[in-house]
Amino acid sequence: MQYLEKIFQPYGSIPENFIPQTAKFTSKYLINGKLGEWHGDLHQVISPIFTTEDEEHGHIVGAYPKMGTTEALAALEAAVKAYNHGYGEWPSMSIGERINCMKKFIFMMKQQREEIARLLMWEIGKSLTDSYKEFDRTIEYIKDTIEALKDLDRNSSRFTISEGILAQIRRAPLGVVLCMGPFNYPLNETFTTLIPALIMGNTILFKPPKLGVLLLTPLLNAFHEAFPAGVVNTIYGRGKEVITPIMESGKVDVLAFIGSSKVADLLKKEHPHPHRLKCVLGLDAKNPAIILKDADIDTAVKETLLGSLSFNGQRCTALKIIFVHESIVETYLKKLSEAVENLKIGLPWEDGVNITPLAEAGKPDYLAELISDAVSKGASIVNPNGGKRYKSLFFPAILRNVNDSMNIYREEQFGPVIPVVTFKNVNEPLNYVIGSNYGQQASIFGKDSGQIAHLIDILVNQVCRVNINAQCQRGPDIFPFTGRKDSAEGTLSVSDALRVFSIRTLVATKETDLNKSILTEIVKDNKSKFLNTDFIF
Ligand code: G3H
């Protein structure tokens, strides 16, 4: 391992192509179709990347508007006006017209790939490779969403007749959607709700996460150019000042939030008519791996390494606790320790880098506290460099002999610490899952199909995805992504998201000659945007 103290560089020595270009003019916002320059107070964006000139805090990447309640409510009014009770230009556009706007957006978005990747590196410390992946995956998600919408619309373009009633059943928008994504996937996860909500005809307020704000700025012009005024509006600032008044207004129809269950609960309670608020939530998780005695150890090591340390363990789907059968725990730990020690820690643009600066300023201290709590109660660090730290850099630590007296046993560490629990009887990890507040995913490693089948049948009613001999993950994005208990509300996937942000609505009539001729005329002369049989190719 390199000396952590030697990793940060002088700013001047960093190659130009890794330095964000838009940082100097980032105080932009988009409200009611106006792409404005903010002249009020600013909030500085401090990078987790230090340079040798910045001793006290990370490099200052730029600044974003520190909005207040007035601006937040202006953004809300813009979205309400653009929706106009469902009669605004955007919600009443045909699906084909909305798709054309989205295609224009994709075209403009693609031109920002390099700059967004640079900002992902500087704002949240994501490696260049993973930053490109996040961008490309998002573009694919939008394209797949368009195709899924075409399919949905094709299936809805015919009439249904039952019990003498003739009906056309389609999906209609819900209203104003407040979208808030997480800092670990500030582009991708924000867009996995924003894009389907938008294309279904809703109007949007979006607040970037606490970290990863500037990287959305290069897209403001694309939102401005591709969609009618007021359809997409940005809000920045402190939650209490900007989000609370918006929620308290009762004018938000859908809350799309990916973050902690604690914040989600607060936001929901602020809405005066909870039954009118639809929530789409991606929340906390503590996904376990269960490594059985007959597991292929090399596969288990490879997958648990990826599962617990990709993007430094800062994924909601990360493996956050590993249960290993006592008969193989020594071999597993030896191999895992070697693999972890071989990881490269460094700056996000370095070739082959695995571990990068941690995005949240308080995270290294928090992880160190988790480790010292566990060690004081009988755990030990397995790998020689485990837990070594310098500023935002934290070398991954494997902890062995973890048990239920330790905070790490239940808390979601969201960082590079791998707690390993040794078990004798498989009921021990199963009881852990049953007693957990979370229910997103689990991974099982083993070979015996009978035992795996038994575990599957128990786990599928505790979590929403069981991975066999593989790490936990969200993708492919056409698969449903959700969770039980405190882990989620609503299901996301390319096609599920279109359903989540819309409601089935139908036009129905009795099958009489008069009614049939009315419907025929409406359809033949294209008199209605909703009631029509147009087929999108
Ligand atoms: O942070 C949670 C993300 O949804 C994880 O997605 O499994 O593709 O990294 P991923």
Rounded distance between C-alpha atoms, residue 505 and residue 510, angstroms: 17
Ligand 1 site-directed mutation target among 135, 191, 316, 465, most atoms within 8 Å of CB:
316
Distance, CA 184 to ligand 1 centroid (Å)? 9
Would you place residue 536 in the very low, low, confident or very high pLDDT band (cuts 50, 70, 90)? Answer: confident
pLDDT tens for each residue of 437-452: 999 999 999 999 999 9
- Cα angle for residues 152, 157, 160 (degrees, 5° grid): 110
Would you place residue 184 in the very low, low, confident or very high pLDDT band (cuts 50, 70, 90)? Answer: very high
> Pick the residue with more confidence: 312 or 537?
312
Whether 474 lines ligand 1, by a CB cut-off of 6 Å, is yes
User: Of all residues in the chain, what percent carry a pLDDT higher than 70?
Assistant: 99
With 70 as the cut, is the pLDDT of residue 91 above it? yes
Whether 316 lines ligand 1, by a CB cut-off of 6 Å, is yes
| Tokens 């330095």 found at | 19
Question: 111: burial class by Cβ within 10 Å (0-12, 13-18, 19+)?
Answer: exposed
Residue-averaged pLDDT of the chain: 96
Range 224-240 burial, b when 16+ CB lie within 10 A, else e: bebbebbbbbbbbbeee
Whether 317 lines ligand 1, by a CB cut-off of 6 Å, is yes
Whether 127 lines ligand 1, by a CB cut-off of 6 Å, is no
Distance, CA 476 to ligand 1 centroid (Å)? 10
CB 252 within 8 A of CB 246: yes
DSSP single-letter state for residue 307: H
Nearest CA to ligand 1 atom 2: 316
pLDDT for 2 equals 65
pTM, rounded to two decimals: 0.96
Distance, CA 174 to ligand 1 centroid (Å)? 27
Read off the pLDDT of each residue in 361-385 and give the average, rounded to a whole number.
Answer: 98
Whether 397 lines ligand 1, by a CB cut-off of 6 Å, is no
pLDDT tens for each residue of 36-83: 889 999 999 999 999 988 778 999 999 999 999 999 999 999 999 999
Nearest CA to ligand 1 atom 6: 474
- For the chain, the residue count is 537
Residue 103's alpha-carbon distances to 107, 147, 223, 342, 499, in angstroms, are 6, 11, 11, 43, 20
Whether 311 lines ligand 1, by a CB cut-off of 6 Å, is no
Distance, CA 483 to ligand 1 centroid (Å)? 13
CB 131 within 8 A of CB 112: no
pLDDT for 423 equals 98
Peptide linkage before 65 cis (omega within 30 of 0)? no
With 70 as the cut, is the pLDDT of residue 264 above it? yes
Whether 492 lines ligand 1, by a CB cut-off of 6 Å, is no
Residue 288's alpha-carbon distances to 48, 186, 244, 304, in angstroms, are 28, 25, 35, 10
Tokens of 385: 């460099």
Whether 185 lines ligand 1, by a CB cut-off of 6 Å, is yes
Would you place residue 1 in the very low, low, confident or very high pLDDT band (cuts 50, 70, 90)? Answer: low
Distance, CA 481 to ligand 1 centroid (Å)? 9
Strands 393-394 and 389-390: antiparallel
DSSP single-letter state for residue 38: P
Domains of the chain, start order: 7-282 (3.40.605.10), 287-482 (3.40.309.10)
Ligand 1: atom nearest CA of 185 is 1
